[in-house]
Structure 1
Amino acid sequence: MLLSSIDIEALERRRRAALINSITGFKPANLVGTVDKDGHTNLSIMSSLVHIGSNPPLLALIFRPDNTERHTLDNIRQTGSYTVNHVNGSIVDAAHQTAARYPRQVSEFAATGLREHWQDGVAAPFVAEASVRMGMKLREEIPIEINGTHMVIGEIVWLEAPDIAINDAGALDPALADSISISGLDSYYRSDLLQRMAYAKPDKAPERLDS
């Protein structure tokens, strides 16, 4: 397959969306938990989470244009708080169902059978069934003019992960946490560690670390 920009633009809308959403490869599958100022909870699956920096610990999400109701984005704006929860293999069906367009008054927690978990110091609901969970504080929202999307940058203020999934360098091993990846909009994958590599230096050949 070889496509020019003209060819891409000429693709049928759904085929173009399927291709461009999947061309980046595997993306993290996360459930974003929020609550509005009146106490109505919301849960939404998102795959746009990216690392911004470690000090302070910042992560960013990309939200689609808010020319229609965006409950998650609205709630984050109202409260300044949200949670990010890794999807694991036991909750893929329920996690995927949160993408359905439920009315604002219907909580995706109740609709999918996932359970709310509340933690002191975080004013938004976690997913009880998730083993990797992050409480987030809104730090900045950046409108992206080229397509009307929004980048929301948050700081991790609370973090939970299984001890068994933290390697000797202090990093999370997604495979040991059973964290699921997404390709495109509807395909879910488990990961396995291929190899770990030593810190790259210009005067040294690539070096594998023992797993």
Structure 2
Amino acid sequence: MKNFSSQDIQELSKYYRANLINSVTGYKPANLIGTKSADGKTNLAVFSSVVHLGANPALIGMIVRPASVPRHTYENILETGFYTINHIHEAFVEQAHFTSANFDKTDSEFDAVKLTAEYISDFHAPFVQESKVKIGMKFLQEMPIELNGTIMIIGQIEYLILPGEIIAEDGNVDLSAVKDVCVSGLESYSQVGKLAKFEYARVRNLPEFN
């Protein structure tokens, strides 16, 4: 067994430390965030920090890295107030990964990796046509995290688009049915598979564990 102290972690190389700490927290959702600037330039970026914040109202958060360098996704969200969250599937995982390259703001990652920008109704931000689970978001709040300079973006769901057949009667979504992927570390992607579904946990229905 390896045993890392906080001092040991600080002394690791930057790349090794980033991979270690990013992957040790477990599998994370793999999403593409779609935005468009006020002057019409589209942007697409892979994010693994999307998290459910609440269902009523329907809020989703995500962490944006420090704005010490240009962050096109963050800039576009603040500028326009809208963005999309698009699930990544096995069919285009490599294309999705390479949206993380350092493109100029004038270059569209949609074009660079050959994914299709799709617009729904009058919603400003582009969706990924190839994604089967897409969420249109309205920006509500940003919360700076002073400890490391990152920023939590909080938004509310304006559109939710997904195949009806993957939604169970109780509202649960079977993401394995659309071949979702998840991410660990900075560059490793894994398949999503359904393991089990249990009843709502109450003290009175606690099983007899051995």
* TM-score (normalised: structure 2): 0.96
Taking the aligned partners of 1:155 and 1:121, their CA distance within structure 2 comes to 17
> Number of residues paired by the alignment?
207
Deviation track 1:75-133 (CA, whole Å, cap 9, x = no partner) reads 00000000000001111111001000000100000101000100114210000000000
Q: Shift of residue 168 of structure 1? A: 2.4
SS at match of 1:43: strand
- Mapping 1:105-116, distance limit 5 Å: 105-116=106-117
Matched, 1:185 2:186: yes
Give the distance between the partners of 1:111 and 1:6, measured in 2 at CA.
Answer: 41
Measured on the aligned residues, the alpha-carbon RMSD in Å equals 1.0
Alpha-carbon separation, structure 1, partners of 2:207 and 2:94: 40
Residue in 2 that maps onto 1:104: 105
Task: Considering fraction of residues, name the structure with more helix.
Answer: 2
**Structure 1: 4+ residue segments shifted above 6 A:** none
Shift of 1:206: 3.6
Identify unmatched segments of 5+ residues in structure 1. none
Residue 62 of structure 2 aligns with which residue? 61
C-alpha distance in 1, partners of 2:180/2:123?
Answer: 22
1:81 aligned residue: 82
Q: Which residue identity does 2:150 align to in structure 1? A: T
Matched, 1:20 2:21: yes
Q: Tell me, in whole angstroms, the C-alpha distance in 2 between the residues paired with 1:156 and 1:19.
A: 32
Task: Please give the alpha-carbon distance, in whole angstroms, between the structure 2 residues aligned to 1:121 and 1:197.
Answer: 40
Question: Structure 1 residue 93 and structure 2 residue 94: aligned?
Answer: yes
- Answering whether residue 108 of structure 2 is matched by residue 125 of structure 1, we say no
Match status 1:11 vs 2:12: yes
Give the structure 1 partner of residue 50 of structure 2.
49
What residue is the counterpart of 2:146 in the other structure? 145
Identity across matched positions, percent: 44
1: distance between equivalents of 2:14 and 2:94?
A: 26
The amino acid that maps onto 2:113 is: T
Separation in 1 of the partners of 2:204 and 2:171?
26
- Once the two structures are TM-superposed, the CA of residue 204 in structure 1 deviates from its matched residue by 1.8
**Cα distance, 1:165 vs. partner?**
1.3
Q: Does the 8 A contact of 1:197 with 1:206 survive in 2?
A: no
For 1:184 and 1:113, how far apart are their aligned partners in 2? 25
Paired with 1:38 and 1:20, the residues of 2 have a C-alpha distance of 37
Q: CA deviation at 1:177?
A: 2.2
Mapped contact 1:45–1:95 kept (Cα < 8 A): yes
Matched, 1:174 2:192: no
Matched AA of 2:121: D
CA distance in 1, matches of 2:102, 2:13: 23
Report SS of the residue matched to 1:203.
helix
The structure where strand makes up a greater share of residues is 1
